[in-house]
Structure 1
Amino acid sequence: MEWRCEWCEKPHEENDPPCDNCGHGTFEKAVQQVNHEVVPGGTVWVCQDCGRSHQRNSPPCKRCGGANLELREGPPETDPLDEIGTRWLDVLEPKYVAGYAAVAVLLAVLLLSAVGVISLPTFGGPTGPPPVPDAPGSADSVGDLSLAGVEDAYVAELNERRTAEGAGALARNTTGDEAAAYYNKATVAAVAGDGAGPDREAFSRFALACEQPAVVSYRVAPERTGGSVSEFENESALAAALVDSYVERGNAFRAGDTVGVDVHVAPDDTVFVTYVVC
C-alpha cells in the first residue's frame, strides 16, 4: 500500500513523516495510484502574491509576507520579478508601511522623553484623586453646629477680609474642597498617630485649576477660640474666630481666583482648617 503526504500529496514508500517535500507531519494511505513520473525541476510552492518560489509550504512568503502558497511542478528557471527589476520595496503592502511609520514615531517619542525634551505620564501608577482618609473627631457637626455651614461662613468671612485688604474675593471650587478635605483629614490622622500625613504625589492628582496651588493649613486650640466649639452661637461666629486666628498670626492672603476649604474638629476640640487657593 502506497503512502502520501496529507498536505502536498507527495507519494512515499513508507509511513515515515515528515514529508521530504513540504515538511508536513502526517501521511495517509493512498486510495488511488499516484503518478510517479518525476517532472524535471521537481515541485515548488509559489507565492500567489509575488511569484517567489519556495521549497516548502511554509508561509509567510520570504519576499512579500504573503500567506497563499500554491504547489506547482517544474518551477521557472528564472524569477519573473528578477526580469522586470522589481525590488522588495515594490511589493511592500501599505499596511506594513503604516506599521513601520507608527514604530518610528514611538521610538522618536521615547528618545525625546529620554533626553528630557518631553515628559511622558507614568504607566501603571495610581490615577485619579486619592480617597479622603478617615480622621478621628468630627467632619460633619459639633453640637448644633454644621461644619459644612462653618466652611461656607469661613469663605464668606475670608473674602470680606481679603476685599478689605485689596486682595480680591475667591470663588468656591468643588475640586478645591476635595483637595482641602484630603489634606486636612490626612493631617488630623497623622497628628493622632493614625497616618503618615498628606502625600505630595497623591495631592497632585487632584484636577485643580492651577499647577501650583497655595495650601494653607493650620489648627486652632480651644483656648485660642475662647472655648469649646459647641459653645459658639452659630456657624458664622466660629468661622470668624477661625479667620481671626489666621490673620492675627500675621499670615498674608494668598493670590488666586478660587478656593476650597475643609474644617475638621478633633476629639480634643482642636479645630483643623485647610484651604487651597488657585
Structure 2
Amino acid sequence: MDWRCEWCGKPHEENDPPCDNCGHGTFEEAVVRRTDLADDGGLESTTVWVCTECGRTHTKHSPPCSRCGNHKLVKEEQRVDDDELSVPSYFDLVTPRYVLGLVVVLALAGLFVGGLTGVIDVPGFGNDVPAVENVPGEADTAGSIDLATVESAYLDTVNETRANASDDGVSRNERLDEVAAFTNQRLIKSEYGDGSLPTRDRIAELVGDSCQGGFAVETYTLQSSDYASGDTLGSAFAAEQFADSEISAASTTTVGVDTHTAPNGTVFLTQIVC
C-alpha cells in the first residue's frame, strides 16, 4: 500500500480520496519503516502520531487521543539508537544487589549443611538426629570388647540393682539412644578432634517428646584395658553410675545409652535419662 488516509490512517492502493473508512479528503504517502541504518549513524526511524495536549504517542493517526480524548495528533518521526535495542550480557546483570543476594543464599545453604551434619547447632532446623562425621576412635569395639555387649550388661546391672532396691526397671528408648550417640560423639570430637559440644537446647530439641518430665545427660569414662570382657566393663559402668546418678531414682523410667572408644582406649558412656 502506497497511500493512507491522513485522518484515520487506513491504507489505499492509490491517492484517490475520499477515504473509504472515514470520508476524509486527503491522503498521504505511507511511511515505510527504515531498515537501512548504515546511512543514518546507526539510528532506526519510525513514524508516530503525538497528541498535542498530553503528548501520548500513537502508532497511527486515529484520533481522538486514547489518553485525554484530544482530537489533534501531529506526525513525528522517532529515531531509536542501536544501543537502546541491544540486549545486556550476563555480566551486566551482576549488580551489587545480585551479589548480596547470592552471598545470603550461600550462607543459608552453609547453615543447612552444617545443621544436617551436626557441625552447627541450628535451632528449629529439624527433628532428625544428625550424623556426626569423622569422629575419632571406634564406635563398635574397644580392643577385643564389643561395645554393644557393654551397653547391654550396663542396663542389665542397673535393672538388677534397682530391683534389689524395690525400684522399677528402666527401659531403653531408640530415639534416646540416637540422641545419646549424637551427644557422645560430639563430646569425643570436642576433646580429641575439632568439634564442639551441643547446647542443652539442641539436645532438648532432639529429645522432643521422648521425655515428658525433663531429662538429664550423664557421661562416664573407664579405661578399656582394665577389663577383660564387655560384661565386666558394663557392670563397672553401672557401679560408676550408681555412685552419683539420677538414674537410681525411682522416677527414672526411660534411658538412651551410647558407648564410644576414644583414640587412647578410654571408653565414654553417655546416657540420656528421663
Q: TM-score, normalised by structure 2?
A: 0.53
After superposition, residues 25-104 of structure 1 pair within 5 angstroms as 26-28=58-60
Counterpart AA for 1:266:
A
C-alpha contact (below 8 Å) 1:130/1:202 kept by paired residues: no
Unaligned runs of 5+ in 1: 6-13, 31-35, 45-54, 57-122
Q: 1:18 to 1:173 in 2, by over 3 A?
A: farther
Shift of 1:159: 1.7
Match of 2:220 in 1: 218
The question of 1:228 aligning with 2:228 is answered: no
**Structure 1 residues 135, 15: CA separation in 2 closer, same or farther (over 3 Å shift)?**
closer
Q: TM-score, normalised by structure 1?
A: 0.52
> What is the letter of the counterpart of residue 125 of structure 2?
P
Q: Do the aligned partners of 2:138 and 2:260 also contact (CA within 8 Å) in 1?
A: yes
TM-superposed deviation, 1:136: 1.6
Q: Flag the 1:124–1:185 CA change in 2: closer, same or farther, 3 A.
A: closer
In structure 2, which of residues 222, 232, 235 is the aligned counterpart of residue 240 of structure 1?
235
Partners of 1:213 and 1:4 in 2: how far apart?
Answer: 86
Structure 1 contact 4–27 (Cα < 8 Å) conserved: no
Cα deviation for residue 260 of structure 1 reads 0.6
In structure 1, the residue matched to 2:210 is: 209
What code does the residue aligned with 2:225 have?
A: S
Aligned equivalents of 1:160, 1:199: Cα separation in 2: 33
2:99 is matched with none
Which is helix-richer, 1 or 2?
2
Q: CA deviation at 1:146?
A: 1.8
| Correspondent of 1:250 among 240, 244, 268 | 244
The answer to whether 1:267 aligns with 2:263 is: yes
Cα offset, 1:182, TM superposition:
1.1
Identity %: 30
Q: Distance in 1 between matches of 2:196 and 2:123?
A: 23
The residue number in structure 2 matching 1:126 is 125
Deviation per CA, 1:62-107, whole angstroms, max 9, x where unpaired? xxxxxxxxxxxxxxxxxxxxxxxxxxxxxxxxxxxxxxxxxxxxxx
Q: Which one-letter code corresponds to 1:16 in the other structure?
A: W
Provide the rounded CA distance (Å) in 2 between the counterparts of 1:232 and 1:19: 104
What secondary structure is seen at the aligned counterpart in 2 of 1:16? strand
Q: Contact conserved, 2:132 with 2:182, CA < 8 A, in 1?
A: yes
State the partner residue of 2:161.
161
RMSD: 3.7
